[in-house]
Amino acid sequence: MSRKFEDYKADVTFDVWMSGGNVDSIDMDMVRDYYYSGYYPEETANSICQRTRSEYKYYDEQYE
């Protein structure tokens, strides 16, 4: 992997963490897709956090 991608991945991880997201839930294949599509790390982190929140919401709704 290129150094640029490693920096991008670190930025995404940091942004997810700063947003209160779970850094263990980051899908690196998705990060790689966003990287090659030209998204900014903040956009990728927002997408990851939204996806994670919707998964938790779905889980919570199943067990209410």
pLDDT, residue 50, reads: 86
> pLDDT tens, 8-60?
999 999 999 998 888 888 999 999 999 999 999 999 999 998 887 665 555 55
Q: Model's pTM, two decimal places?
A: 0.76
pLDDT, residue 64, reads: 60
At 11, which amino acid appears? Answer: D
Q: Where are the alpha helices (DSSP H) in the chain?
A: 3-18, 28-37, 41-62
- State phi, psi for 38 to the nearest 5 degrees: 95, 15
